[in-house]
Copies of this chain bind each other. A is one copy, B any other.
Amino acid sequence: MSHIPTIGLVDDEPGMLKALRRVLTAEGFHVRAFASAAEFLRGEDRAQVDCLVLDVSMPGLTGLELQEHLTREDARLPVVFLTGQGDIPMSVRAIKAGAVNFLTKPVNDTDLLAAVHAALAEARRLQDEHRALAGLRQRLATLTPREREVLRHVITGKLNKQIAADLGTSEQTIKIHRMRLTAKLGLTSVAELVRAMERLGVEPAE
């Protein structure tokens, strides 16, 4: 999302794609259209898309199935559903799975744009969060396996002595690993380490 956001459209009806594109480009967005979930998944344009507007019922993968695929990935794309024959159970499932909204055709332009703006706001939020952690995640990746293991013990609050016993090595070795990992991560205190690892999803040992 450099400056102008790009909306991904996935719908098997060409007329619908055309109508949606018209509304969204009029609002100043870039648009990438796809005729099926499969086409989106293999598309290279995909990386530039900031949020998705999905038809639920399509031949091949349905919108809900595509959403499920996407939640497995790290760069979670916010999804707005748009459907002709939606029902309540379907909308419940979609929202529980994290969809930003679930709209029905024919859709009012105002509602569509409101949903897309909400999805973009969510996309920005996710990206900010991701960027904030990117540097730290990168530094974490430079740790050796042993350093990572020591880190996991440190953030459980164990003493060097205990860590050494758990890993079957000497306290001095632990001190060295610990010194190196704090230097690599740029975090000296245990408190900072615990907070950072919690945000990165690094689990404590035991």
Contacts and interface: CB of A to CB of B under 8 A. Distances in A.
Interface string A89-105: 00110011000011010
Interface string A143-186: 00000000000111110000000000000000000000000000
Contacts of A102: 88, 92
A189 to B, nearest CB: 3
Interface of A: 86-88, 91-92, 95-96, 101-102, 104, 154-158, 188-195, 198, 204
A154 B104 contact: no
A189 B157 CA distance: 5
21 contacts: A87-B88, A88-B88, A88-B104, A91-B91, A91-B95, A92-B95, A154-B191, A155-B191, A156-B191, A157-B189, A157-B190, A157-B191, A189-B190, A190-B190, A190-B194, A191-B193, A191-B194, A191-B204, A194-B195, A195-B198, A198-B198
Nearest to A194: B194
Nearest to A86: B88
A205 to B, nearest CB: 11
A91 B94 CA distance: 11
A192 B159 CA distance: 12
A92 B101 contact: yes
Contacts of A192: 157
A92 B95 CA distance: 7
Contacts of A96: 95
A45 B173 CA distance: 61
Contacts of A155: 191
A83 to B, nearest CB: 9
A156 B189 CA distance: 8
Contacts of A204: 191
